[in-house]
Amino acid sequence: MLKKIKTCFLFIVCFLAYSCSSTPDKVFVEDDINIIPKPETVILGSGNFKFRSSTYLVVESEIQHEAADILAGFFQSAQEWQMNVVEEEAKPYSNYVEFVTKNTLALDAYELSVTGDGVSIFANSPGGFLYGVQTIRQLLPVKIESKNLPENVSWVIPQIEIKDEPRFGWRGLMLDVSRHFFPKEYIKEVIDGLAMHKMNVLHFHLVDDQGWRIEIKKYPKLTEVGAWRVDHEDKHWNARPAAQSGEEATYGGFYTQEDIKEIVAYAASKNIEVVPEIEMPAHVSSAVAAYPELSCNETQIQVPSGGVWPITDIYCAGKDHTFDFLENVLIEVMELFPSQYIHIGGDEATKTNWKTCGHCQARMKNEGLKTEEELQSYFIKRMERFISSKGRTLIGWDEILEGGLAPGATVMSWRGVKGGLEAAGEGHDVVMTPNSHCYFDHYQGPQDQEPLAIGGYLPLSKVYKFDPVVEGMTQEEAKHVLGGQANLWSEYIPTTSHSQYMIYPRLAALAEAVWSPKENKDWNDFSRRIESMFTRYGLRGINYAKSAYLLSADSQMDMENKTVGITLNNELPNSDIRYSVNGSPMQKFEQPIKLTETTTIKALLYKNDEPAGKEFNKTIKFHQAVGKKPEFKTTYHKSYQGTGDYNLVNALRGTKNFHDGQWQAWLGEDMEATIDLGQSTEISKVIVGAMESQGPQIYFPTDIEVYLSKDGEAFEQAGKINRPYAQNASPELKDFVVDFEKTEASHVKVKAIGLKKHPLRDGSVWLFVDEILVE
Ligand code: TNX
């Protein structure tokens, strides 16, 4: 009996000891560490630390207090806990988070040391402490993002040693609030998102043709007039009519100076600098609509409701009045924004009016300027002198290189990395934002499954590849690279939820590209960690894109057997993809699906046995020409080769993404293909699949002609169709169907007559074809 009691006592003691010790309930393994951006070094220990409502946050300074408040804020919103923030002297023996200044650490660097008793964050700057806190947040269970008071969550983090510091000092996102206006509350949400990813620059594009968004006290009409346009939000961006007289301008908005102060202060509390952009000399219709005297010909214009190109109403570079105006505007702007950098735009100036303007021509003469490019350079240099006289640094888009770069200017390279390379070569600082890797207004998944975007294709994995230091840069040049940034132009982004969709998760990939040491980057590893970020986004109510889960199909031709092999894939590796053919039961996709006839494939991606993403549903249509090699009169362009020689007879169709690898194209030329069917075949229809996307100069053919032959020598026309050129605002796919009476033939010749020359200006245009179907 005594023995029994003894055992029982021992058991209770053990149990109590077990439940009071530093939480035995989770054993962390490497794969539980999902921090994005990936820290410099992580050493995982065993055991863990548990946060409680009674956990003390111990600080030595006001700066640390602010970081501690942010940490406490996470528990406040997830659990309604009020944690104690105390001064150093009151540090308890266990269950604390201490903030400790360590003088040897670089700006924004931090170290995190977690034991069973406490957490220590070492840093030497406000940013460092904040980033330490963000890392703790990402070590905590994802439910920390929840606002619904989750129950029974054990708030444990692993015992761990982390050393971390950013690779670049400029880790930015640009928001275009002109093309569409976004309220102050949303801007703050984006700032929260930036902070979560350890980003530190919000580039605020406050001025563009379609809206002036910042209150300037000296020039009230900038917002009274310039912030508003006629509401044509129901129409495609490029199909919005010019304002008619008497139409009310009701779409728009602007930030008051009080709003701006609030945004700037909120960002600063999260170690984010807000860099204002005041465009000049172009992209300023909104300002010219308010004050026509700022332009060369001084005619009254309206704020455009959508895309107009080119825009010739730019600031006059001849009148001193323009410069007085801009200096006065910038004085108010610099009072509101403490940032070192002032962005003056400088991009895409159509200088037509400068060529005929008396003031501009007089200026050129007096200043000894030979070209209008030099006049633009004069403009920017003059502004640079003003900005640097105020102790600030001018930054502008890479066009500011044209005609000679202003001495103290920093360049933001957007037309690829060329401008950045050139500027760095000349000893200027640069921020890399190449449109190849940083344009978040571009599509991020298969275009036929994505909401309308401006074009382009920038999937998550491509953002991940971004490196602001370009191959071929010398060490000296690389030192001039301040960092990188994504740009979210908003022509096609009318709502805040759509804006979130374009930002997340690509921001996570960008963050790792600009924060983590290059050697630490690993796409497979990132693909695992991003899943936890997805859950966090979801819990925060962020409408993030699940495009990386979208399925697409690739095909391979088996020439001998005339079969098509279909491979299903999505962007993330090792996915569980299941499919059915013509309604068969679902099966796991493991190897190419072999097709010999027209087949409908449905597929879904699974996560933990649950469907994720959208259903893929495609009918692969077989026809008489599948696998019969076309001979081209002129070969397709080397930039658009599709899948090669069999592209037009591979049964797979292209999407609206003209980079999807299914399109062959001809530039300024017609397409003429002859297909040997190998035997006499009954034919009554030929279909040519084409695309139109007038923005990137892709035009439908104007005529399709079909010729048949029984011997490959003598061809007779079987049919033709004509479809004259018409303006078309949206990208469109179309099957051109040529019907004719049933005919026996062994050879088919198809001519697609392209538009060849641009309908409105000089230059050749594209003809895009994805399949020739013979039936
Ligand atoms: C070019 S990038 C622009 C913007 C457009 C953007 C659309 C740059 C400096 N100018 O005005 O919104 O392309 O992607």
DSSP 381-450: HHHHHHHHHTT-EEEEEGGGGTT---TT-EEEE-STTHHHHHHHHTT--EEE--TTTSBTTSB-S-GGGS
| Contact status, residue 423 vs residue 402, Cβ threshold 8 Å | no
CA atoms of 28 and 13, how far apart (whole Å) = 26
| Contact status, residue 772 vs residue 649, Cβ threshold 8 Å | yes
Structure tokens at 99: 């903030």
Q: What percent of the chain has pLDDT over 70?
A: 97
Q: State the Rg of the chain over Cα.
A: 31
Distance 550 CA to ligand 1 centre (A): 27
Distance 333 CA to ligand 1 centre (A): 22
Distance 277 CA to ligand 1 centre (A): 13
- Give pLDDT, residue 92: 87
Query: Has residue 579 got a pLDDT over 80?
Result: yes
- Identify which of 17, 47, 12 has the alpha carbon closest to the alpha carbon of residue 29: 47
The residue whose CA is least distant from atom 12 of ligand 1 is 489
The residue whose CA is least distant from atom 13 of ligand 1 is 489
pTM of structure: 0.90
Query: Has residue 13 got a pLDDT over 50?
Result: no
Q: How far is CA 111 from the centre of its chain?
A: 30
- Give pLDDT, residue 93: 85
- Give pLDDT, residue 89: 85
Average pLDDT, integer, range 729-743? 93
- Identify which of 192, 80, 196, 54 has the alpha carbon closest to the alpha carbon of residue 147: 80
Place of tokens 């007038």: 694
When mean pLDDT is compared across 21-35, 186-200, 570-584, the lowest value belongs to 21-35
Which atom of ligand 1 is nearest to 439's Cα? 14
Please return the burial class of 75, using the count of CB atoms within 10 Å of its CB with bins 0-12, 13-18 and 19+.
buried
- Give pLDDT, residue 23: 44
Phi/psi zone of residue 480: left (φ > 0), alpha (ψ -120 to 50 degrees), beta?
Answer: alpha
Which atom of ligand 1 is nearest to 208's Cα? 11
Distance 414 CA to ligand 1 centre (A): 9
Query: Has residue 271 got a pLDDT over 60?
Result: yes
Q: What is the mean pLDDT of the chain?
A: 94
Ligand 1 pocket test, pick from 277, 279, 348, 442 with the greatest ligand atom count within 8 Å of Cβ, gives 348
Which atom of ligand 1 is nearest to 347's Cα? 9
Query: Has residue 555 got a pLDDT over 60?
Result: yes
- Identify which of 570, 653, 582, 658 has the alpha carbon closest to the alpha carbon of residue 614: 570
Structure tokens at 198: 């350890």
Rounded to 5, what percent of the chain is helix, strand, coil? 30, 30, 40
CA atoms of 339 and 191, how far apart (whole Å) = 16
- Phi and psi torsions of 244, nearest 5°: -95, 155
Helices 184-196 and 257-268: crossing angle in degrees, nearest 10, is 10
Query: Has residue 24 got a pLDDT over 90?
Result: no
| Contact status, residue 396 vs residue 448, Cβ threshold 8 Å | no
Query: Has residue 4 got a pLDDT over 60?
Result: no
The residue whose CA is least distant from atom 9 of ligand 1 is 347
Q: Is 373 helix (H, G, I), strand (E, B) or coil?
A: helix
Query: Has residue 117 got a pLDDT over 50?
Result: yes
Which atom of ligand 1 is nearest to 348's Cα? 10
Query: Has residue 90 got a pLDDT over 90?
Result: no
User: Parallel, antiparallel, or unpaired for β 410-413 and 430-432?
Assistant: parallel
Helix or strand (DSSP H, E) at 156: strand 156-164
- Give pLDDT, residue 18: 42
When mean pLDDT is compared across 82-96, 222-236, 314-328, the lowest value belongs to 82-96
- Give pLDDT, residue 448: 83
- Tell whether omega for the bond before 505 is within 30 degrees of 0, i.e. cis: yes
Distance 466 CA to ligand 1 centre (A): 19
Cα-based torsion angle of the residue sequence 152, 158, 164, 166 in order, rounded to the nearest 10 degrees: -30
| Contact status, residue 469 vs residue 423, Cβ threshold 8 Å | no
Ligand 1 pocket test, pick from 283, 347, 502 with the greatest ligand atom count within 8 Å of Cβ, gives 347
| Contact status, residue 403 vs residue 371, Cβ threshold 8 Å | yes
CA atoms of 504 and 428, how far apart (whole Å) = 32
- Phi and psi torsions of 695, nearest 5°: -50, -60
Beta bridge partners of 616: 603
- Identify which of 59, 80, 77 has the alpha carbon closest to the alpha carbon of residue 68: 59
Query: Has residue 20 got a pLDDT over 60?
Result: no
Structure tokens at 117: 């008793």
Average pLDDT, integer, range 64-81? 96
The residue whose CA is least distant from atom 4 of ligand 1 is 489
Helix or strand (DSSP H, E) at 323: helix 320-336
When mean pLDDT is compared across 64-73, 293-302, 532-541, 657-666, the lowest value belongs to 657-666
Query: Has residue 298 got a pLDDT over 50?
Result: yes
Q: What percent of the chain has pLDDT over 90?
A: 87
Distance 468 CA to ligand 1 centre (A): 19
CA atoms of 117 and 536, how far apart (whole Å) = 27
Q: How far is CA 183 from the centre of its chain?
A: 20
| Contact status, residue 98 vs residue 118, Cβ threshold 8 Å | yes
Instruction: Residue count of the chain, please give it.
Output: 775
Longest dimension (CA), the chain: 112
The residue whose CA is least distant from atom 14 of ligand 1 is 489
Pocket around ligand 1: residues whose beta carbon is below 6 Å from it? 347-348, 397, 414, 439, 441, 454, 489, 491
When mean pLDDT is compared across 68-72, 546-550, 729-733, 756-760, the lowest value belongs to 729-733
Distance 489 CA to ligand 1 centre (A): 7
Q: Is the torsion defined by CA of 567, 573, 574, 576 positive or negative?
A: negative
Query: Has residue 144 got a pLDDT over 70?
Result: yes
Distance 344 CA to ligand 1 centre (A): 14
**Which residues are within 8 A (CB) of 243 and not within 5 positions of it... i.e. 6 or more apart?**
229, 230, 249, 302, 303, 304, 305
- Give pLDDT, residue 25: 64
Query: Has residue 205 got a pLDDT over 50?
Result: yes
CA atoms of 271 and 266, how far apart (whole Å) = 9
The residue whose CA is least distant from atom 7 of ligand 1 is 489
Average pLDDT, integer, range 274-281? 98
User: Parallel, antiparallel, or unpaired for β 341-345 and 273-280?
Assistant: parallel
- List the catalytic residues: 208, 283, 348
pLDDT tens digits, one per residue of 630-682:
999 999 999 999 989 999 998 888 888 888 888 999 999 999 999 999 999 99
**SS3 readout for 526-575:** HHHHHHHHHHHHHHCCCCCCCHHHCCEEEEEEECCCCEEEEEEECCCCCC
Average pLDDT, integer, range 557-575? 88
Report residue 730's pLDDT band, with 50, 70 and 90 as the boundaries: confident
CA atoms of 486 and 421, how far apart (whole Å) = 18
Which atom of ligand 1 is nearest to 179's Cα? 12
Which atom of ligand 1 is nearest to 345's Cα? 9
Ligand 1 pocket test, pick from 489, 493, 502 with the greatest ligand atom count within 8 Å of Cβ, gives 489
- Give pLDDT, residue 505: 98
Beta bridge partners of 721: 704
Strands (E), 693-731: 703-709, 715-722
Average pLDDT, integer, range 713-727? 95
